Amino acid sequence: MTDEQREDARRTDPGTVAKHGGTDVEHVGPILDGELVDDTLPQPRRRTLRQRITRWWRYAPRVPLWLARLVGRGWQSGPAVRARSVAAYRVRKAPADVARLAWFVVRGHWRWLVKFWEWATYADLRADARRARLAGDAEARRTAQELIRSDARARWAKLGIALQRIVITLRVVAPVAVVLWAADSLMDRKAMWTWLAEVYAALDTVWSALTAAVPVLLWTVPVLWAVAAAFEGRDGTPGAGWLVQPDRDDADSWIDERMISKALAHLGIGPLDRFYRDGGELVYTVAARKDGDGTFAQIRLPLGVTADMVAARRSKLAANLGRASLETWPTKGDEDGILDLWIADKGVLRGGAGQWPLADEGQVDLFDGVPFGLSQRGLVINAPLIGVNWLIGGRPGQGKSAALRTLLLGAALDPTAELWVFVMGESPDFDPFTPRLSRYRMGMDDSVAEAATQALADLLSEMERRGKILGEQPGRPPKVSRKLADKRALGLHPLVCGIDECHELFQHPSYGKKAAELAVRLIKRGRKYGITLLLATQSPTKDSIPREVTRNVSCGAAFSVADQVANDGLLGSGKYAAGIRATELRINTDRGTCVAVGITDETFELVRTFYVPFEDGADDVTPVIARAMALIEEAGRAIETSARREIEAAGPVEVDTLADLADVMAGDERVRTQHVLARLAEANPEHYGAWSFAALAAMLAEHGITARKSHGVMTVHAADVTAALTRRDTEDETGEPDGEQPGSRGVLPATPPGQHPPDDQAKPGVGRRGSATRDAD
Ligand SMILES: Nc1ncnc2c1ncn2[C@@H]1O[C@H](COP(=O)(O)OP(=O)(O)OP(=O)(O)O)[C@@H](O)[C@H]1O
């Protein structure tokens, strides 16, 4: 910096450059946070107060408009619309409500009168005495009469005491009142002692309070009285019904008896309509109450109405209740005239079952069942796999194989269980099971059908072997128990055989018939021996699944099915009529949900099955199988293959001559014996090809059938064959100790691993973890 420049700087800003020692130092002030302001840009104008007022004045006319818009928006908001519609509804209903309230008041008085009469006449005790007399129970009658007498004595005694107290009080109060009155009349208050004057002042205050309160009381007491009477005479429906609008808006609220009665009143069932017209009130044997993820009520229907009639109008009932058909389950109760009604909370069934509780950890004791899905009540269902057989069916792609897989995965986690799987089609659904399976065949070729048929034959032989072993045990136990199953040397471990797409097997041209016969025998007799057959099919018709199979399996699971035939084929005859309908399950929408019978003590369950994914690169099955293998190793066991030893021992398949005879009757009323022989030979040349009339006669005699003469020729009558079949069935069911009772549905194991899920289980989509239930031996 030159001298001139420094001088310039000092002139312009004397503080910026100062002498410091011998050097000139430039002083810079403290640097503050700042912003460069370009004052060439237009700057905001500062408004004066006047300008502001003018501006407000200009906008003032718009304020009411804004306010109006604000109010309009609030008026149109959801809560306001709802509140308005409820208010309008209540206004419309006001006359009816007033009449109803008046009726409640009258009825309330009547009820009080009845109560008083019952109290005064000891009606309850008298009724007890009457009942006891009718029942011939002298002791109970005497007790009731004694009670009436002692109660009457006590009542009169209480009345006497109360009167006595009143008299004593009057005796004390009356002289005091007279004295006070006399003193007040004779003396001037000013001349009284102070304390007496104060007493009079207090009495005056009390008196004025009373005179002020009496008119108020004269108004309020009758009002309170009327309110109390209305309360006494109200309808016994729960909830503040008058607060809600029973229109569609309101349909997702709770379900109560009022709504159910209303919905039933609009079903168009003649006798029910008449009942309502005549002022009838439905009897709720179980009042509407929360039951899992829905509401349950049980109703005794009036004369002329059956539960089936209501079930037949399910969609109308669902619409009346503001629910989907799937969410509305009217079914037959213990009697035809009792309606069990379960209504799901709105939309709750749309949620899946959540993760399979055993997906990551846990072990299974097959005698306790396998977690299979969530019931409509939101509880985990431990499906039984011992002492039962399963038939799972439904339209394609609705979850049959997945359900079968879940059951078998559960079985795999019991280290004592032996598993066989046959898939009658090209499907890799069970491939990951391979290391855990003792037998596995998959495919469409004849060899798979042959292997499956052989497996059924082997299971029969195994069943017989087990029967013998059981008979040799001390105390001749009637069935395989956990204790016996754990004794490896006996070979009585659980043996589960799953056949997917089983209709392919039963319809196979070469092996179908044989397989069907074997399956029927196995289903009828295998349950006591720890042998379980799990069948899955797309097509549960009488042509694809033997009727005896559908009649005798104890657990049926129906995913979405097309019609009544398929429904009843899977769940048992009469189920559709009784309202137990998998036809209500919507294809694809309700994939994974099935209607099941026999898996719990309930008449039916609507099960959201657990899904263990094995598709599109997701594979949760393999890790479970790896765990199952580890469990076997930990238990020091090997994969059970005991039945393989019996394969060679399996004898030829028995022919059911009576069933064949029934088949060849082919719906004819009577068939000539000659034609019967020919038809039998055609159906099974191997067995009947060489039969003579004598052989046929012997066979008929064996089944108690006599060939009868008709128009000069010997004929077999279809009625006789049917009678013989019925006879045999009855014997199977009642006489034969090994037979599985048709329709005897499985029950939940006595000690299921945590039957009740924790609170978080109540909502769909949350699975309950399985527990290690038992150490393997
Ligand atoms: N419980 C479930 N939860 C959710 N999705 C499921 C469930 N069960 C099955 N699914 C879905 O449905 C698809 C079809 O299932 P699955 O193969 O078991 O049907 P299916 O009835 O056996 O069909 P098909 O008769 O054609 O063999 C599965 O790939 C899966 O995506």
Q: What is the pLDDT of residue 477?
A: 81
Confidence of residue 218 (pLDDT cuts 50, 70, 90): very high
Enclosing H/E stretch for 199: helix 194-232
Query: In 3-state terms, what secondary structure has residue 278?
Result: coil
CATH entry, 241-350, from 3.30.70, 3.30.980, 3.40.720, 3.40.50 = 3.30.980
CA of 598 to the centre of ligand 1 (A): 22
Instruction: Tell me if 394 is assigned to a ligand binding site.
Output: yes
Does the beta carbon of 609 sit less than 6 angstroms from any atom of ligand 1?
yes
Q: What is the mean pLDDT of the segment spanning 122-137?
A: 87
CA of 591 to the centre of ligand 1 (A): 7
Indicate the fold that domain 366-641 takes in CATH: Rossmann fold (3.40.50)
Kindly report the protein residue whose alpha carbon is nearest to atom 11 of ligand 1. 399
CA of 536 to the centre of ligand 1 (A): 12
CA of 402 to the centre of ligand 1 (A): 5
DSSP one-letter string for 425-454: SS-GGGGGGGGG-SEEEESSSHHHHHHHHH
Kindly report the protein residue whose alpha carbon is nearest to atom 28 of ligand 1. 399
Pairing of the two strands 670-672 and 713-717: antiparallel
So where are the chain's domains? 82-187, 241-350, 366-641, 657-735
Q: CB within 8 A of 740, min separation 6: which ones?
A: 389, 523, 524, 525, 526, 527, 552, 554
Q: What is the mean pLDDT of the segment spanning 340-369?
A: 86
Q: What is the mean pLDDT of the segment spanning 298-324?
A: 90
Give the nearest ligand 1 atom to 609 CA: 1
**Tokens at 426, concatenated:** 């090209």
Going by the DSSP 8-state scheme, the letter that residue 473 receives in this structure is S
Q: Does domain 657-735 have CATH number 1.10.1220?
A: no
Q: Residue 266: is its pLDDT beyond 70?
A: yes
Signed CA dihedral, 364, 368, 372, 373: sign only: negative
Confidence of residue 58 (pLDDT cuts 50, 70, 90): confident
Give the nearest ligand 1 atom to 559 CA: 21
Instruction: Tell me if 401 is assigned to a ligand binding site.
Output: yes
CA of 549 to the centre of ligand 1 (A): 24
Kindly report the protein residue whose alpha carbon is nearest to atom 30 of ligand 1. 399
Instruction: Tally DSSP H helices, then E strands, for the chain.
Output: 24, 21
Backbone angles phi, psi at 420, to 5 degrees: -125, 140
Question: Which of 356, 400, 504 best tests ligand 1's pocket when mutated (most atoms within 8 Å of CB)?
Answer: 400
Does the beta carbon of 397 sit less than 6 angstroms from any atom of ligand 1?
yes
Question: Which of 611, 612, 616 best tests ligand 1's pocket when mutated (most atoms within 8 Å of CB)?
Answer: 611
234 against 417, higher pLDDT: 417
Confidence of residue 206 (pLDDT cuts 50, 70, 90): very high
Question: Which of 501, 591, 612, 621 best tests ligand 1's pocket when mutated (most atoms within 8 Å of CB)?
Answer: 591
Neighbours of 298 (CB within 10 A): 18
Q: Considering only 248-262, 280-294, 605-619, 708-722, which range has the smallest mean pLDDT? A: 248-262
Q: CB within 8 A of 731, min separation 6: which ones?
A: none
Most confident segment among 403-412, 539-548, 698-707: 403-412
Confidence of residue 495 (pLDDT cuts 50, 70, 90): very high
Confidence of residue 158 (pLDDT cuts 50, 70, 90): very high
Does the beta carbon of 400 sit less than 6 angstroms from any atom of ligand 1?
yes
Instruction: Tell me if 395 is assigned to a ligand binding site.
Output: yes
CA of 575 to the centre of ligand 1 (A): 24
The complex scores an ipTM of: 0.96
Over residues 709-763, the pLDDT tens digits come to 887 888 999 888 888 888 877 765 554 433 333 333 333 333 333 333 333 333 3
With contact defined as beta carbons under 8 Å apart, do 469 and 477 qualify? no
Per DSSP, helices labelled H in 233-285 are 257-265, 270-277
Q: Residue 237: is its pLDDT beyond 50?
A: no
Backbone angles phi, psi at 111, to 5 degrees: -65, -40
Going by the DSSP 8-state scheme, the letter that residue 733 receives in this structure is I
Q: Considering only 2-11, 483-492, 498-507, which range has the smallest mean pLDDT? A: 2-11
d(CA 500, CA 424): 6
Q: CB within 8 A of 744, min separation 6: which ones?
A: 554
Q: Residue 14: is its pLDDT beyond 50?
A: no
CA of 405 to the centre of ligand 1 (A): 10
Q: What is the mean pLDDT of the segment spanning 213-233?
A: 92
Q: Residue 253: is its pLDDT beyond 70?
A: no
Instruction: Tell me if 438 is assigned to a ligand binding site.
Output: no
Instruction: Tell me if 763 is assigned to a ligand binding site.
Output: no
Over residues 653-675, the pLDDT tens digits come to 567 788 888 888 877 888 998 88
d(CA 630, CA 225): 76
Q: Residue 487: is its pLDDT beyond 70?
A: yes
